């Protein structure tokens, strides 16, 4: 295995484009090293991107949007004073990943590129409308988070391409987000169902919404019918029931030891309601 620590994304991309065999990018390493050590994936080329300038920066831009470097850890996101005020759902979702030790290394970008349908941060990012910059041999393009995963363990990134930054939109007025997951214990487990909700209000009425589901399909889902169910409402019981039905209807889960198809489908509706209530309260300025 060749180890490289390039000084720029262009250099990282060129290394990957010219490499033969299996290439992996190393940020926090909490998935890459587990796969390496358990002989699941033994890269021929390992490209450590942590020596690139700015990869650990959390920047609030002039328009209120946020740019996160690809090596920013979950712990750094949780400790940041402003990010969690704007996007508590995104920060809390990342914080659900692993232990204190894992939080010290794990990144949003790694959680996304690992391609797990159950990744906690991914539905929260999709709901928030997060995009990523993808740098490849042909330059850099902006891609929505929901367009990155293509199946379990698979992404839309081509040979030589890597994510070079994470863009979180400006929070703006009267907006709130939330992420909830179901696990059979209180901590340190993989989502059986995850739901991210992000919405905006005018008065008491929801004017915009994005609802995203995790762990209930081969990839994260952005469900337009869920948004339609609550936009125009004040999140009354009828809207909540419509939201739950739309969320359950969108599910296409697997049966496994952690949850049956029926269970995941039912719980998705329940969590969608609860997450929507939290996002709604946050949009009204309540501190939850």
Count of positions (residues) in the chain: 288
- Between residue 33 and residue 92, which ones bind other proteins under the rule CB under 8 A? 33-34, 36-38, 46, 48, 50, 73, 75
**Contact between residue 135 and residue 161 where contact means Cβ atoms under 8 Å apart:** yes
Among 63, 187, 237, 287, binds other proteins (CB under 8 A): 187
CB of 38 to other proteins, least distance (A): 7
Tell me the C-alpha distance between 153 and 81, whole Å.
33
CB of 188 to other proteins, least distance (A): 5
CB of 262 to other proteins, least distance (A): 29
- Between residue 88 and residue 147, which ones bind other proteins under the rule CB under 8 A? 98-102, 104-105
Contacts with other proteins: how many residues (CB under 8 A)? 27
Rank residues 98 and 176 by Cβ distance to other proteins and give the closer one. Answer: 98
The reply to whether 270 sits near other proteins by the rule CB under 8 A is: no
- Per-residue contact flags (x/-) with other proteins for residues 205 to 234, judged by CB under 8 A: ------------------------------
Tally Cβ neighbours within 10 Å of residue 202. 10
Rank residues 97 and 168 by Cβ distance to other proteins and give the closer one. Answer: 97
Options 6-14, 27-35, 164-172, 228-236: segment touching other proteins (CB under 8 A): 27-35
| Residues 6+ away with beta carbon under 8 Å from 186 | none
CB of 76 to other proteins, least distance (A): 9
Rank residues 63 and 100 by Cβ distance to other proteins and give the closer one. Answer: 100
CB of 236 to other proteins, least distance (A): 35
CB of 10 to other proteins, least distance (A): 22
Among 41, 188, 238, 288, binds other proteins (CB under 8 A): 188
CB of 26 to other proteins, least distance (A): 8
CB of 163 to other proteins, least distance (A): 19
Which two tokens mark 98?
A: 């692993």
User: 274: burial class by Cβ within 10 Å (0-12, 13-18, 19+)?
Assistant: middle
Summarize as ranges the residues that interact with other proteins (CB under 8 A).
Answer: 1-3, 5, 26, 28-30, 33-34, 36-38, 46, 48, 50, 73, 75, 98-102, 104-105, 187-188
């Amino acid at each position: 295995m060749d180890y490289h620590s390039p000084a720029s994304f262009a250099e990282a991309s060129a290394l990957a484009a010219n490499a033969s065999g299996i290439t992996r990018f190393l940020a926090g390493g909490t998935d890459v090293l587990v796969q390496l050590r358990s002989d699941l994936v033994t890269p021929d080329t390992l490209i450590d991107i942590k020596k690139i300038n700015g990869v650990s920066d959390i920047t609030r831009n002039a328009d209120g949007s946020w740019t996160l470097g690809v090596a920013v850890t979950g712990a750094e996101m949780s400790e940041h004073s402003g990010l969690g005020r704007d996007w508590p759902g995104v920060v809390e979702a990342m914080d659900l990943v692993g232990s204190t030790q894992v939080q010290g290394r794990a990144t949003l970008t790694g959680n996304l590129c690992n391609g797990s349908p159950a990744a906690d941060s991914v539905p929260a990012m999709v709901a928030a409308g997060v995009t990523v910059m993808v740098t490849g041999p042909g330059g850099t393009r902006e891609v929505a988070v929901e367009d990155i995963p293509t199946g379990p363990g698979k992404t839309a990134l081509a040979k030589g391409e890597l994510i070079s930054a994470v863009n979180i939109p400006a929070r703006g007025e009267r907006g709130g987000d939330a992420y909830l997951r179901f696990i059979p214990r209180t901590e340190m487990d993989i989502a059986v169902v995850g739901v991210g909700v992000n919405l905006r209000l005018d008065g008491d009425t929801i004017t915009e919404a994005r609802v995203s589901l995790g762990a209930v399909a081969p990839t994260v889902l952005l469900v337009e019918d869920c948004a339609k169910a609550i936009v125009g409402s004040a999140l009354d019981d009828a809207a909540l029931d419509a939201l739950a039905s739309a969320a359950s209807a969108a599910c296409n889960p697997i049966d496994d030891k952690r949850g049956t198809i029926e269970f995941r489908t039912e719980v998705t509706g329940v969590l969608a309601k609860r997450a929507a209530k939290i996002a709604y309260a946050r949009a009204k300025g309540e501190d939850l």
